[in-house]
């Protein structure tokens, strides 16, 4: 889950829908734009799926992901797009905050995120 719902999320959608773009460099420029500090809440696919299922309004990608098992092609494309963006964020946005939510509930991760933002300390 990418918590910058602007350009970064749009790039993810584009890479998800066009996996052939992942190997190209042109989209990486967008990741480096802006002065916003990115916050990434990294959760396991099953947690992401539960979040998607809880949404009242689902767009076409979310509907596609809901219809597929976690081992399906749609989830592989989603993970590949996510991994490409995360790799580029690590290069271009060294001040990005990464919250590992894999062993925590979403609420605990959100609390950790809030504490980190308020403290101003890097959280890795």
Q: What integer pLDDT is reported at residue 2 of this predicted model?
A: 45
> Which letter does DSSP use for residue 5 in this model?
T
In whole angstroms, give the CA distance from residue 119 to residue 59: 35
**91 lies in some domain:** yes
Higher per-residue pLDDT: 101 or 104: 101
CB–CB of 37/96 below 8 Å?
yes
Domain assignment present for 101: yes
Q: Token match 């993810």: residue?
A: 12
Residue 26 phi/psi, 5° resolution? -60, -35
86 pLDDT higher than 60: yes
- Residue 98's beta-bridge partner residues? 40
Q: Does a structural domain hold residue 57? A: yes
Q: How confident is the model at residue 67 (pLDDT cuts 50, 70, 90)?
A: very high
**In the chain, how many domains are there?**
1
Q: Tokens for 34, please give them.
A: 């802006």
Confidence of residue 99 (pLDDT cuts 50, 70, 90): confident
Over the stretch 14-41, which tens digit does the pLDDT of each residue have? 999 999 999 999 999 888 876 677 778 7
Tokens of 62: 């979310």
Domain limits at 18?
7-119
> Which of 23-27, 47-51, 107-111 has the weakest average pLDDT?
107-111
Residue 76 has pLDDT above 50, yes or no: yes
Could you say which DSSP state residue 80 is in?
H
């Amino acid at each position: 889950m990418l918590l910058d719902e602007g350009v970064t999320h749009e790039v993810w959608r584009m890479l998800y829908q066009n996996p052939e773009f992942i190997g190209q460099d042109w989209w990486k420029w967008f990741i480096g734009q802006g002065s916003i500090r990115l916050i990434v809440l990294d959760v396991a696919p099953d947690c992401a799926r539960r979040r998607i299922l809880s949404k009242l309004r689902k767009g076409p990608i979310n509907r596609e992901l809901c219809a597929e098992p976690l081992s399906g092609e749609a989830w592989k494309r989603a993970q590949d797009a996510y991994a490409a963006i995360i790799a580029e964020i690590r290069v271009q946005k060294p001040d990005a905050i990464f919250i590992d939510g894999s062993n925590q509930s979403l609420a605990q991760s959100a609390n950790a995120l809030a504490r980190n933002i308020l403290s101003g300390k890097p959280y890795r």
